[in-house]
């Protein structure tokens, strides 16, 4: 699941010229939002402006609930994602037709770090419309995808049927409710991919939930955007944002990263940013043993000025995605991290 927030946003809403694919052909003048969540380069569509507010809360309840002004965060986020599912399935960004034709959406380093998944039971948390989930199925895993959006789950099921992965299973449930929704089932691999953690207020509860889902001898594999990188200014030369501000942050934005000019009704989202130390501490406190934490000098989109586009050559098992790096001669910084923790 990719986030709509933590994006480069024009200071004045503009609509740059589009290419034949429908994507903008020029980068918009950006202003930076708080660091630490998942990212997309998103230009503000003509349908309206963006606002962001740091939300104060009155306390936390079990299962990651929040009181105070952010108390309806789950309902707001679900309404936003529900509405965007049909936009995403029809978008050039997700290119569902290309996926149906055989494309695998996993990155090479993910395939290398997870290893052979043939015959393994793999659970993908926050799976959205299922393209990454089904990419694991194409590598031989017995997959289950879980997402809190009913329309996303229905889209994933339909896609699985169309590509001949009828054994793939998709379950509608909040990530914090996954153990109950899956009736205590455990998995060889629990996978969480890019743009997922920013939607979760409580990493301690998330990690405990994951630990319940990992079978003995199995592991969690997480690949996420690095919070350090998002604290940089747009030219990448200096830090301009506070790394330790966790939020929550409320966003108001029409459209979607995959459908920039779409008119949408449900535009409020509530998100969090998590320092890397919070992620690692939560995972180990839940009783999982950290096998590795890797930091990578590339990302999946061009969010800093001057980044160089390249094919993903990060793994020996291959990858079909595009990555972006800072140009040669500039100091490298971590842009993506991945970790594996076993039970």
**CATH code that applies to domain 7-18+25-342:** 3.40.50.150
> What is the distance between the alpha carbons of residues 222 and 232, in angstroms, rounded to a whole number?
23
State the Cα angle at 300 between 218 and 43, rounded to 5°. 130
Residue closest to 204 by CA, chosen among 290, 292, 283: 283
Residue 271 — very low, low, confident or very high, per pLDDT cuts 50/70/90? very high
pLDDT digits (tens, 9 = 90+) for 314-341: 665 555 678 999 999 899 999 999 999 9
pLDDT at residue 146 greater than cutoff 90: yes
The pair of three-digit structure tokens given for residue 295, joined into one six-digit string? 């930091």
Contact 88, 94 (CB under 8 A): yes
Checking DSSP bridges between strand 187-192 and strand 249-252, what pairing results, if any? Answer: unpaired
Percent of the chain beyond pLDDT 90? 62
Where are the chain's structural domains? Answer: 7-18+25-342
The pair of three-digit structure tokens given for residue 198, joined into one six-digit string? 């920013």
The lowest-confidence range among 58-67, 111-120, 155-164, 266-275 is 58-67
Residue closest to 245 by CA, chosen among 273, 217, 280: 273
């Amino acid at each position: 699941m990719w986030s709509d927030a933590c994006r480069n946003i024009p200071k004045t809403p503009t609509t740059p010229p589009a290419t034949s694919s429908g994507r903008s052909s020029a980068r918009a003048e950006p202003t930076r939002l708080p660091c630490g969540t998942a990212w997309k380069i998103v230009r503000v569509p003509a349908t309206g402006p963006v606002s962001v507010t740091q939300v104060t809360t009155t306390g936390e309840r079990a299962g990651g609930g929040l009181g105070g002004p952010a108390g309806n965060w789950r309902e707001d986020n679900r309404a936003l994602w529900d509405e965007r599912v049909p936009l995403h399935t029809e978008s050039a960004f997700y290119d569902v037709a290309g996926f149906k034709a055989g494309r695998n959406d996993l990155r090479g380093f993910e395939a290398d770090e997870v290893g052979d998944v043939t015959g393994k039971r793999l659970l993908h948390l926050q799976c959205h419309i299922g393209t990454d989930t089904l990419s694991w199925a194409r590598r031989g895993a017995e997959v289950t995808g879980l997402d809190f959006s009913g329309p996303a789950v229905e889209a994933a099921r339909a896609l699985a049927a169309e590509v001949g992965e009828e054994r793939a299973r998709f379950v509608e449930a909040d990530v914090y409710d996954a153990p109950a929704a899956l009736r205590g089932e455990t998995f060889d691999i629990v996978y969480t991919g890019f743009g997922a953690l920013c939607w979760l207020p409580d990493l301690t509860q998330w990690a405990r939930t994951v630990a319940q889902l990992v079978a003995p001898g199995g592991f969690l594999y997480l690949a996420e955007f690095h919070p350090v990188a998002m604290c940089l200014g747009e030219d990448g030369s200096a830090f301009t944002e506070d790394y330790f501000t966790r939020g929550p942050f409320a966003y108001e934005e029409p459209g979607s990263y995959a459908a920039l000019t779409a008119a949408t009704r449900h535009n409020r989202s509530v998100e969090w940013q998590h320092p890397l130390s919070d992620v690692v501490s939560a995972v180990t406190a839940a009783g999982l043993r950290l096998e590795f934490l890797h930091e990578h000098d590339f990302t999946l989109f061009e969010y800093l000025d001057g980044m160089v586009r390249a094919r993903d050559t990060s793994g020996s098992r291959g990858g079909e995605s595009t990555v972006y790096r800072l140009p040669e001669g500039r100091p490298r910084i971590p842009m993506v991290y991945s970790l594996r923790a076993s039970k």
